């Protein structure tokens, strides 16, 4: 299988070549030339597979340039009971007749990003070793990506991680998740500033091609294709668990999770509706309701109680838009150049927007008050404690629920990460999973720096030269 750019200007490449790429050289995102279609016989055979078997059956189609034996070994090493708390990996919990929670947050950082990043950590180590290369991953986090990436890459050979985070602006739990790691290949940089300052520094570094080449800088960000591919697996697992066609309610920010559902459906999985749930930062909800996609200015982005969905634009959305324009890279490029110029894209009244209905995407948004009410309701009615992101999904999912169609709500984080909101909603402290009891009391290790590109580059250069 070969991967092309959404903007039509990159030469087709195999999976391992795009594995650690952020943007394609033409500024677009990589995706497969064509989605693999599963035959009814293949789908039927998948029904009884374990998570690991299913992951192999699906990922072997996307990563067909990794020898099957290697891929199988990497998958078997990733999706284990030890790492994900059970052999189900993504357990389905029934709340009510036709209403389910899909547990995606049982990995080491207690957020759904672990499912893809744990695999990427192993793929990365394998490919670097094979090619005798090293990589320095530089990233910025507002809370969930950083811990997931660090837990995925800690202790891995030939990889170092430089993670920028806004000093004093994450939940104490999230900060402790990263800062308590003592692995020699993890470097936490606490920036005096907000998340956007961190991201600006990372962007400046990514734009300095000479520095990037000299220090072998890479990214494992939300537009990475391998992350999408790994997330396709649990849609299959969930449909089989609830017995067939289902709708999915997905708390969304960068559109990576719900886009994986679109890929699963394009492969032949019977998904009815993909329900996009946003918080007050409703870029995606606005698009699906009106056909207008409007990038928010940094000052417009609200700091909410579901912070992992606080985005100004949705980075994987371009891949979906590519499908809306029928896979025509030149057309998508023209549309996206307009978006980059104007900050808005208006597809309302076009044939492209009419295609949205055919893809069965629907949406809705949720507020802080909605989150509190939903957490309270799910606790009272079903005895389940859900986190604020999951609550956004449940709230919007229930608005689109259909009689006779199972509704699967994605549980994207554990409540213990957001204890302040849980206390506000139901007046009690979420329980801590084993091993996390004293997290905030562990010794912490981080450097504090200004949001200064020169200072951060100097730090990275010094650390990378020491390690060679």
Contact 293, 280 (CB under 8 A): no
Q: Which stretch binds ligand PLP (CB under 6 A): 51-59, 208-216, 253-261, 422-430?
A: 253-261
Which of 71, 317 has the CB closer to ligand PLP? 317
The residue count for binding ligand PLP (CB under 6 A) is 17
Q: Let me know: does 313 contact 283? Beta carbons within 8 Å.
A: yes
Q: How far is the CB of 413 from ligand PLP (least distance, A)?
A: 4
Q: How far is the CB of 112 from ligand PLP (least distance, A)?
A: 6
Are 163 and 139 spatial neighbours (Cβ–Cβ below 8 Å)?
yes
Taking the complex as a whole, how short is the minimal distance between the CB of residue 92 and ligand PLP, in angstroms? 18
Which CB atom, from 62 or from 317, has the smaller least distance to ligand PLP? 317
> Could you say which of 61, 113, 313, 417 is catalytic?
113
Cβ-count burial of 113 within 10 angstroms (0-12 exposed, 13-18 middle, 19+ buried)?
buried
Largest CA distance in the chain: 62
Quick check: 366 binds ligand PLP (CB under 6 A)? no
Closest CA to 109 of 51, 167, 173: 173
CB atoms within 10 A of CB 39: 9
Query: x/- contact string, 385-424, with ligand PLP (CB under 6 A)?
Result: ----x----------------------xx-----------
The 54-73 site mask, x for binding ligand PLP (CB under 6 A), equals --------------------
Binding mask 136-165 for ligand PLP (x = CB under 6 A): --------x---------------------
Using the rule CB under 6 A, which residue among 142, 158, 177, 222 binds ligand PLP? 222
Smallest gap from residue 269 Cβ to ligand PLP (A): 18
Length of the chain: 468
The yes or no reply on residue 255 touching ligand PLP (CB under 6 A) is: yes
91 binds ligand PLP (CB under 6 A): no
Q: Which is nearer to ligand PLP, 143 or 193 (CB)?
A: 143
Span between the terminal Cα atoms of the chain, in Å: 35
Q: Out of 107, 193, 253, 430, which residue is the one contacting ligand PLP (CB under 6 A)?
A: 253
Residue closer to ligand PLP, measured from CB, 49 or 295: 295
Smallest distance from ligand PLP to CB 314, Å: 7
Q: How far is 199 from 315, CA to CA, in rounded Å? A: 14
Beta-strand runs (E) in 2-61: 3-5, 30-32
Which element (helix H / strand E) includes 236? helix 225-242
Considering the complex, state which of residue 128 and residue 228 has its C-beta at the smaller distance from ligand PLP: 228
Q: What secondary structure letter does DSSP report for 271?
A: E
Torsion of CA 66, 69, 70, 74, to 10 degrees: 120
Closest C-alpha to 412, from 289, 257, 254, 212: 257
- Of 74-82, 109-117, 419-427, 438-446: span binding ligand PLP (CB under 6 A): 109-117
**316 φ/ψ sector (left φ>0, alpha ψ -120 to 50, else beta):** alpha
Tell which residue, 236, 172, 169, 163, has the closest CA to residue 202: 163
- Nearest by Cα to 191 from 182, 208, 204: 204
Question: Considering beta carbons, is residue 273 or 389 the nearer one to ligand PLP?
Answer: 389
Count CB-CB contacts under 10 A for residue 120.
23
Half-sphere exposure (Cβ direction) of 257: Cα atoms closer than 13 Å: 31
Which CB atom, from 390 or from 464, has the smaller least distance to ligand PLP?
Answer: 390
Instruction: By CB under 6 A, tell whether 308 contacts ligand PLP.
Output: yes
Q: Is 113 a catalytic residue?
A: yes
Binds ligand PLP by CB under 6 A, chosen from 78, 254, 278, 279 = 254
Q: Which residues are known catalytic residues?
A: 113
Report the interface residues with ligand PLP, using CB under 6 A. 111-113, 144, 222, 251-257, 308-309, 389, 412-413
């Amino acid at each position: 299988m070969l991967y092309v750019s959404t903007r039509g200007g990159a030469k087709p490449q195999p999976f391992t070549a795009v594995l650690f790429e952020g943007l394609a050289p033409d500024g677009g995102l990589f995706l497969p030339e064509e989605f693999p279609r599963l035959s009814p016989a293949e789908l039927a055979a998948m029904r009884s597979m374990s998570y690991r078997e299913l992951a192999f059956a699906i990922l072997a189609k996307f990563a067909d340039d990794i020898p099957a034996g290697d891929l199988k070994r990497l998958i078997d090493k990733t999706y284990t009971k030890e790492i994900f708390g059970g052999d189900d990996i993504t357990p389905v919990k029934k709340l009510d007749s036709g209403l389910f929670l899909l547990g995606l947050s049982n990995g080491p950082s207690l957020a759904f990003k672990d499912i893809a990043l744990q695999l990427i950590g192993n793929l990365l180590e394998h490919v670097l070793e094979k090619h005798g290369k090293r990589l320095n991953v530089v990233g910025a986090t507002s809370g969930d990506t950083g811990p997931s990436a660090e837990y995925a890459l800690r202790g891995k050979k030939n990889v170092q991680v430089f993670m920028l985070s806004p000093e004093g602006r994450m939940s104490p739990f999230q900060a402790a998740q990263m800062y308590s790691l003592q692995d020699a290949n993890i470097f936490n940089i606490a920036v005096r500033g907000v998340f956007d300052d961190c991201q600006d520094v990372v962007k400046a570094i990514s734009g300095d091609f000479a520095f990037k080449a000299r220090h072998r800088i890479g990214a494992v960000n939300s537009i990475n294709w391998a992350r999408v591919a790994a997330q396709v697996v649990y849609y299959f697992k969930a449909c089989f668990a609830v017995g067939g066609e289902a709708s999915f309610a997905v708390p969304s920010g960068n559109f990576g999770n719900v886009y994986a559902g679109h890929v699963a459906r394009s492969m032949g999985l019977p998904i009815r509706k993909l329900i996009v749930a946003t918080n007050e930062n409703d870029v995606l909800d606005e698009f699906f309701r009106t056909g207008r996609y409007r990038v928010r200015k940094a000052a417009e982005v609200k700091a909410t109680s579901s912070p992992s969905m606080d985005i100004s634009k949705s980075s994987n959305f371009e891949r979906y838009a590519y499908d809306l324009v029928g896979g025509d890279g030149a057309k998508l490029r023209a549309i996206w150049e307009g978006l980059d110029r104007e900050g808005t894209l208006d597809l309302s009244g076009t044939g492209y927007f009419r295609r949205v209905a055919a893809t069965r995407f629907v949406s809705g948004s949720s507020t802080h008050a909605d989150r509190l009410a939903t957490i309270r309701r799910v606790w009272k009615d079903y005895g389940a404690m859900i986190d604020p992101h999951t609550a956004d999904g449940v709230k919007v999912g229930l608005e689109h629920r259909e009689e006779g169609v199972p509704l699967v709500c994605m549980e994207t984080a554990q409540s213990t990460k957001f204890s302040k909101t849980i206390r506000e909603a139901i007046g009690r402290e979420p329980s801590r999973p084993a091993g996390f009891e004293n997290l905030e009391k562990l010794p912490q290790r981080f450097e504090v720096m200004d949001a200064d590109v020169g200072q951060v580059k100097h730090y990275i250069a010094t650390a990378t030269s020491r390690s060679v």
